[in-house]
C-alpha cells in the first residue's frame, strides 16, 4: 500500500420521495455514500457494499486501527465510494418507511461466528480460524458497529434498489465489492446499474439458488426477490471470494457453480489457495486484510480487460 493524494472527499445522503403517513411527513428510503477521489484516478470507481447489520465504516479502518480496504484501493488509483445501506450506519432505521427490524445482536450470537470461531467450533472449518486481531478491544469495536437489519432479505434488496439510480449517478462506472448479506444487494444493484457496473467482487456472499434462510428463500438465483432492474448481473466479470475458516464455504461453492454455469468471466477465489489461510467471515477486519485487498486489486487488473488500469486525471465527481 503506497501513499496517495486526494482530489476530493465527502459524502451525501441519497433521499427518496417524502412519505405522508400518520398525519406527518417522513423522509423516504435513503442511504449515505462517502467518497474519496485520488488525484490520479482511474476511469472506474469501486463501490463497497457492507453486509448484515454492519456499515460502510468497516472498509475504512480495521477494529485494531489499521488502514482498511478503502486505502488499498485508493493507493491503486481507484475512486472509492462507501455505501451505508438504507437504515444502516449514518441512516437511521424508520420502521414506518423500511418496515420492521430484527433485534440487535448480542455478543453471544456474533462472537462465535465472527470473533472466536475456533473457540466455539460451530462448523467443521472453525478450528482453522486464527486471523482475528489480537487487540483486546477489537471485538468490542466490531460489536459497536453492528446495528439493525431488515426482517427479510427481500426487504433489504428492495431498499437498495430504491436508491440505486442516485447511487450510480455519483459513482459513474464502478466495480461493486459486496460482503455477506450485502451480496444479494450487490447482484440487485448490478441489475439496476447495467453497463455502469464494470465488475463484481462478492466477498463471502450470502446465498445460493434455492437456499432456505430464516429471512427468506433464494427464489431468484442469488437473490430472494425478483430484480427491479433488467440487466443480467452476471454478464460482467465476477468473482466470489471465500475464507478458509468461514461457515460460508458450502454456500459460496454452490453460488460459484451457479455463476460458472452461465459461461461468463468468473473465478471462485479460495483464499488459502493464495497463501491466505485461517480467515473467518470478516475478511476486511482480520490481520491479513491488506494482503487480501492486494489480491482483490490484482484480480481487477487482470480481469477487467485493462479498463480499470488506465490513468485518468478527470476523477469521478461527487
Average pLDDT, the chain: 94
Asked whether residue 317 is domain-assigned, the answer is no
- Of all residues in the chain, what percent carry a pLDDT higher than 70? 96
Residue 315 has what pLDDT? Answer: 37
Whether residue 318 has pLDDT greater than 60: no
Given this model, what pLDDT does residue 307 score?
58
Residue 315 maps to a domain: no
pLDDT digits (tens, 9 = 90+) for 241-263: 999 999 999 999 999 999 998 87
Task: Judge whether residue 316 has pLDDT over 60.
Answer: no
Query: Residue 67 carries which DSSP code?
Result: B
pLDDT for 313 beyond 70: no
Tell me which residue of 177, 203, 207 sits closest to 279, measured CA to CA. 203
Give the CA count within 13 Å in the CB-facing half-sphere of 138: 21
Task: Count up the domains in the chain and report the number.
Answer: 1
Domain presence at residue 1: no
Q: How confident is the model at residue 225 (pLDDT cuts 50, 70, 90)?
A: very high
Stated length of the chain: 318
pLDDT band of 305, cuts 50, 70, 90: low
pLDDT band at 11 (very low <50, low <70, confident <90, very high): very high
Q: What is the pTM of this model?
A: 0.95
How far is Cα 310 from Cα 45, in angstroms, rounded to an integer?
12
- The model's pLDDT over 19-77, given as tens digits with 9 standing for 90+, comes to 998 899 999 999 999 999 999 999 999 999 999 999 999 999 999 999 999 999 999 99
- In a domain? residue 289: yes
- Assigned domain for 85 exists: yes
Distance (Å, whole) CA 106 – CA 193: 35
CATH number at residue 271: 3.40.50.1820
Does 124 reside within a domain? yes
| pLDDT at position 3 over 80 | yes
pLDDT in tens, 126-161: 999 999 999 999 999 999 999 999 999 999 999 999
Distance CA 171, CA 46 (A): 8
Give a yes or no: residue 53 inside a domain.
yes
> Strands across the sheet with 6-15, in order?
6-15, 30-38, 80-84, 45-49, 174-179, 197-203, 238-242, 266-270
Across 181-204, average pLDDT = 98
Amino acid at each position: 500500500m503506497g501513499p496517495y493524494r486526494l482530489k476530493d472527499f465527502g459524502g451525501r445522503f441519497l433521499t427518496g420521495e417524502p412519505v405522508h403517513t400518520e398525519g406527518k411527513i417522513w423522509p423516504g428510503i435513503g442511504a449515505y455514500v462517502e467518497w474519496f477521489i485520488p488525484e490520479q484516478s482511474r476511469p472506474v470507481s469501486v463501490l463497497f457494499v457492507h453486509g448484515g447489520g454492519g456499515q460502510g465504516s468497516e472498509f475504512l479502518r480495521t477494529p485494531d486501527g489499521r488502514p482498511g480496504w478503502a486505502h488499498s484501493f485508493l493507493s491503486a488509483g481507484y475512486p472509492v465510494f462507501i455505501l451505508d445501506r438504507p437504515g444502516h450506519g449514518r441512516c437511521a432505521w424508520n420502521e414506518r418507511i423500511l418496515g420492521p427490524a430484527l433485534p440487535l445482536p448480542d455478543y453471544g450470537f456474533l462472537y462465535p461466528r465472527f470473533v472466536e470461531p475456533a473457540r466455539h467450533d460451530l462448523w467443521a472449518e472453525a478450528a482453522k480460524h486464527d486471523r482475528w486481531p489480537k487487540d483486546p478491544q477489537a471485538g468490542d469495536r466490531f460489536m459497536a458497529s453492528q446495528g439493525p437489519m431488515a426482517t427479510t432479505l427481500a426487504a433489504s434488496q428492495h431498499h437498495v434498489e430504491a436508491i440505486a439510480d442516485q447511487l450510480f449517478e455519483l459513482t459513474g462506472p464502478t466495480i461493486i465489492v459486496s460482503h455477506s448479506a450485502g451480496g444479494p444487494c450487490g447482484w440487485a444493484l448490478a441489475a439496476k446499474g447495467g453497463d455502469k457496473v464494470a465488475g463484481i467482487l462478492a466477498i463471502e456472499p450470502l446465498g445460493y439458488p434455492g437456499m432456505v434462510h430464516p429471512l427468506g428463500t433464494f427464489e431468484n438465483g442469488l437473490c430472494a426477490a425478483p430484480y427491479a432492474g433488467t440487466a443480467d448481473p452476471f454478464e460482467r466479470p465476477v468473482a466470489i471470494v471465500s475464507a478458509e475458516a468461514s461457515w460460508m464455504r458450502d454456500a459460496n461453492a454452490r453460488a460459484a457453480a451457479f455463476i460458472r454455469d452461465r459461461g461468463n468471466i468468473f473465478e471462485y477465489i479460495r483464499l488459502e489457495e493464495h497463501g491466505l489461510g485461517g480467515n473467518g467471515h470478516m475478511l476486511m477486519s482480520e490481520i491479513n486484510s491488506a494482503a487480501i485487498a492486494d489480491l482483490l486489486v490484482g484480480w481487477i487488473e487482470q480481469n477487467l480487460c485493462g479498463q480499470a488500469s488506465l490513468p485518468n486525471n478527470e476523477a469521478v465527481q461527487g
